[in-house]
Structure 1
Amino acid sequence: MAVTASSKPSESEPEVRTAAGVLRGGREAGLAVFRGIPFAEPPVGPLRFAAPRPVRGWDGVRPALTYGPPPPQSGVLGVSQDTVGDDWLTLNVWTPGPDPAAGLPVMVWIPGGGYAMGDSSLPEYDAGHLAGSGAVVVTLNYRLGIEGFAQIDGAPANRGLLDQVAALQWVRDNIRGFGGDPDRVTVFGQSAGGGSVAALLAMPRAAGLFHRAVAQSVPGTFFSPELAADIAAAFAAELGVRPTVSGLSAVTPARLPAAGDAIFAKTVQWRERWGQITHRPIPFAPVVDGDVLPVTPWQALADGAARDVGLLVGHTRDEHRLFSLIDGVLGQVTHEQTETALHMLAPGPDGARRYRQAFPAATEEELYELVNADWLFRMPSLHLAGAQIAGGGRAHLYELTWPAPGLDGALGACHGLDVPLVFGNLSSGQTATLIGDPPSPVAEELSARIRGAWTAFASHGDPGWPPYDAVHRLAQLFDTPSTVTAYPEETSRLLWQDHTFPALPLLPLLPLLPLLTR
């Protein structure tokens, strides 16, 4: 591969030699920034639905000034599905200076988006503030939706996770040239990014590629192979093909997200087969396939798989409030909707009654939000900390309780509020709706505190509060002011204390023969 011939670099055009060739970046606010760096070959043509392949080298100097194209993805929330080019597997680096002797901590961000959406070029993921605190920050893209997570006959499972491993291998092999220490790598992510971090902790292929992990709002949804295969059959049937590499390869990448969206829109029709995931609905998740992902993260950590990896994990207080707004039920949840949610999601055969008994003063809407938040994010995150210490490791727990001031405070400490606070981009993208524009001094101060905790953890493993244990259950509550106290969601913790978050099964009904043969 040939690119622009090299000329002598200037101070404003920093250059770094990687294993594949020389990259030329730019300077922004005193940082060197490199965008759109390929870490694997484009997963198209004969490489479609395959494990990622190492990127080929190039001659001369490759400009690294613009983000790579996003992977094809869902348009459910109005995200553009337009993809220019097929070089989806790229990453971006912010560094105080590409000095190989600097030895700075490295932070690798995995975007969220339900394993169906996500793009490292979003303005809220600009890592200038984090890198300005003295870290090398990497953000990345990975395959999403059917391309990355559908269970396809003839293809490896969890291709999106394998992409993340390939990016971490690139970091191991190249980050020293950017000023990073390959022996001090922290992965961090939120929502599906947090679920990816949890999966990486359990994956033998990722062992040794990172040394600390920050998992924000970890979803509890991991699929059994049977459930994942059944969902893939529905995707393929929507497209009129079979759920195989050859069948789906006949469909252009740009067309696949529409099939995922179509199934996404009518998952309630599959409730008797797919169960709980039709309530949210959630058509994509990592698959516990026994190979790429041998067991669930909770089992792996309890077995000691990540005891040598420092873990920082937590959630927001009002995880489901944003989804209530998106679903159009905020402020108008009915008794029937609450009953459905309680019976589908609460743990144990008597879970619905136990929830009502445990929260006697809660309104219908409060119960609805509680059980949704507990099932999808709050209790999976808490249980990840518990599994880590059960396996002999160390974990720090937090909860974001500061209510977002935007929309007259209607969203509380909602899902996703932590992202702008971690990155410090309080007026970027959709952030201004939550934080308020301009952001208040209180928001700026809280963001600085959270950024400081994340970068301190990446640097030396201590975010600034005591580790979690099974006796005191101490957690950092991020608020104004922030405090360290016993984990506050004790009622929910007791309701879920015996739940194991297994791989979600395919319910025992007739197979999809009509779909597969139509």
Structure 2
Amino acid sequence: MTAGMSEPSGSRPEVRVAGGAVRGLREAGVSVFRGIPFAEPPVGGLRFAAPRPVRGWDGVRTAASFGPPPPQGGHFGMDVLAREVVGDDWLTVNVWSPEPGPGAGLPVMVWIQGGAYTIGMSGLPEYDGGRLAREGGVVVVTFNYRVGLEGFGQIEGAPANRGLLDQVAALEWVRDNIRAFGGDPDRVTVFGQSAGGGSVAALLAMPRATGLFCRAVAQSVQGTFFSPELAADITTACAAELGLRPTVEEMSTVDPARLSAAGDAVGAKMEQWADRWGPVAHRSITFSPVVEGDVLPVTPWQALADGAGRGIELLVGHTRDEQRLLTALDGLLGQVTPEQAETALRVFGPGGSALDGDDGGDGARRYRDAFPAAGPDELHELVQSDWVFRMPSLHLAQAQSEAGGRAHVYELTWSAPGMGGVLGACHGLDVPLVFGNLDRGQPAALIGEGPPPEAAELSARMRAAWTGFATNGDPGWPAYEAERRLVRLFDTRPSVTTYPEEASRRIWQDHTFPVLRLL
């Protein structure tokens, strides 16, 4: 899983962190340190506990390989991939620095990967931070956090949102140690995509994260946040797959891989729970952050509306065709029936819809009126893109702006040429473009063989915007305002224009993205 070639051992950099000394590698002009623990392994007596500070080690610890990932769901074969790296040191960080040493004072970018809060590991090749660090003059940090039942199950006797607490612990490690790698702890930007974007949004609302970062980039924000009752009900169903009660006492006796498999089993048959779990059952969303009043007091939109983000500079956006890849993975691309489209409109459309405890008639009518020429495939795609990613992202910017904070908005509209060119500007396309890793990892398949020159040019523009924002708070276009609604479109010919998804914006303008509850 390690990307790049290391230089001779004599050039291996060493730094000292809170736990002890670590020795990394030099790769293509960048110092790289992998697999540094930021918390104790959350196993044994620490299973399902909040992360604990890591104990020190003697001598110099080799930091050449990624640490073992947390237990994974089975999507995209991630469970198999996770088992290739043996160990329980799940909570580790990785650092890429163009200039290690306490005097460099470089901006820091801390990446939070996505994966529907069910999968995700920092060691994937698409998250290699070398190019971003080398060409952007920033220190890049990636890390693992617990996912699935380990990180987000609502378990009796355990703190909620353990995955989010892991993220806070990683950011605390950055605050306390990043100066040794050439980073400035007062210039930290968190950035993440999908569930990682949802995590960035959650961190904006978390008192425990206050002061740990000054800028935030939220890409394709996953807008699902659970009530404790909904999360507990889903966790109870997962535990029942193994004949267990959802308690620390019983669940801590089960191998983590079996718990992940139980989560997968419930996710595969969630539609049978639609009358109880609502929209998340239709999308098989098993885990999400829980708004329980302590770790996460309110939703991100409410927190920003209340002014929680006034001191944070925000960059937020989405892709144009978020849902299309997910529809393709479901085998429905070009195959959506009128009945399936009608169900999606009724379940996910806002305003007098299933989201509001209604029969969904008004939500469906709004979409049909706004898009009169749209067929079943387009309507199915539009309402789901809007519900889970596009409108949560836009509303985050709107809440920030209306409360007196600053937000910059973008939309990726470049159509990916890979996989026959049918996926458009789909979910996940931004990841290889932002990191500049156009020929490695699963998202690179969206770019296609080559990659084409326009992809390299677009990637360079996006990397410059992201690193520029991390450096000085300016990505290169005006802040979003309610009157003009200016956004940057990333395409072969970039432009700044009024937010282009106006019809969707109007449909959702009065929606508040409340906590998702049991029906």
TM-score class, shorter-chain normalisation, is over 0.9
Q: Distance in 1 between matches of 2:100 and 2:130?
A: 15
State the Cα deviation string for residues 148-181 of structure 1 (Å, max 9, x = none).
Answer: 0011111000000000000000000000000000
Partner SS for 1:484: strand
1:416 aligns with 428
Deviation at 1:389, TM superposition (A): 1.1
Q: Provide the residue aligned with 1:239 in structure 2.
A: 242
Cα distance in 1, alignment partners of residues 112 and 191 from structure 2: 6
Counterparts of 1:324 and 1:465, CA distance in 2: 32
Match of 1:216 among 219, 223, 232: 219
Q: Which amino acid aligns with 1:422?
A: V
The 5 Å alignment of 1:301-380 reads 301-349=304-352, 350-380=362-392
SS in 2 for 1:239: coil
Displacement after TM superposition at 1:432 (Å):
3.4
**Residues 73-112 of structure 1: matches in 2 within 5 Å?**
73-81=72-80, 82-83=82-83, 84-112=86-114
Letter in 2 for 1:39: F
Matched, 1:21 2:20: yes
Deviation, 1:10, is 6.5
Match of 1:32 in 2: 31
The amino acid of 2:78's aligned partner reads: V
Shift of the alpha carbon at 1:78? 2.3
CA distance in 1, matches of 2:294, 2:448: 45
- Runs of 5+ consecutive residues of structure 1 not aligned to the other structure: 1-8, 508-518
Structure 1: distance between partners of 2:48 and 2:237: 18
Return the letter of the residue paired with 1:478: F
CA contact (8 A) 2:32 2:96 kept: yes
Root-mean-square deviation (Å) = 0.9
Determine the C-alpha separation between the residues in 1 that align with 2:235 and 2:455.
Answer: 43
Following superposition, the deviation at residue 205 of structure 1 comes to 0.2
TM-score computed with the length of structure 1 as normaliser: 0.95
> Letter of the aligned partner of 1:117 in structure 2?
I
- Return the letter of the residue paired with 1:71: P
1:154 corresponds to = 157
Aligned residues: 499
SS of residue matched to 2:216: strand
Match of 2:468 in 1: 456
What one-letter code is carried by the residue in structure 1 that aligns with 2:67? G
Task: Tell me which residue corresponds to 2:286.
Answer: 283
CA–CA distance in 2 between the matches of 1:15 and 1:77?
A: 36
For residues 172 and 142 of structure 1, the distance between their equivalents in structure 2, rounded to whole angstroms, comes to 17
Structure 1 ranges of 4+ moved more than 6 A: none
- 2:69 maps to amino acid: P
Q: What's the counterpart of residue 40 of structure 2?
A: 41
- Do the aligned partners of 2:432 and 2:444 also contact (CA within 8 Å) in 1? no
Check whether the contact 2:428–2:443 (CA below 8 A) recurs between aligned residues.
no
Written as runs of structure 1 = structure 2, the 5 A alignment for 1:177-188 is 177-188=180-191
Deviation, 1:11, is 5.2
Q: Distance in 2 between matches of 1:158 and 1:320?
A: 26
Give the AA of the match of 1:17: R
CA distance in 1, matches of 2:321, 2:334: 14
Q: Could you tell me how far apart the structure 1 residues matched to 2:10 and 2:221 are?
A: 41
CA shift, 1:80, in A, is 3.0
What letter is aligned with 2:320? R
How is 1:167-182 mapped onto 2 (pairs within 5 angstroms)?
Answer: 167-182=170-185
Could you tell me which of 299, 319, 329 is aligned with 1:296? 299
Native 8 Å contact 2:219 2:317 kept in 1: yes
Match of 2:357 in 1: none
SS of 2:33's partner is: strand
Equivalent-residue separation in structure 1 for 2:278 and 2:341 (angstroms)? 16
Distance, in Å, in 2 between the alignment partners of 1:178 and 1:298 is: 34
CA distance in 2, matches of 1:96, 1:10: 18
> Do structure 1's residue 193 and structure 2's residue 196 form an aligned pair?
yes
Shift of residue 330, structure 1, vs aligned partner? 0.3
Q: Which amino acid aligns with 1:248?
A: M
2:488 matched to 1:476?
yes
- Provide the rounded CA distance (Å) in 2 between the counterparts of 1:452 and 1:11: 33
Deviation at 1:433, TM superposition (A): 1.8
The share of aligned pairs that are identical, in percent, is 73
Corresponding residue of 1:143: 146
Give the aligned partner of residue 437 of structure 1: 449
Q: Tell me, which stretches of 5 or more residues in structure 2 are unaligned?
A: 1-7, 353-361
Q: TM-score, normalised by structure 2?
A: 0.95
Q: Determine the C-alpha separation between the residues in 1 that align with 2:46 and 2:66.
A: 22
State the shift of 1:123 in Å.
Answer: 0.5
Q: Give the residue type in structure 1 aligned to 2:427.
A: H
2:500 corresponds to 1:488: yes
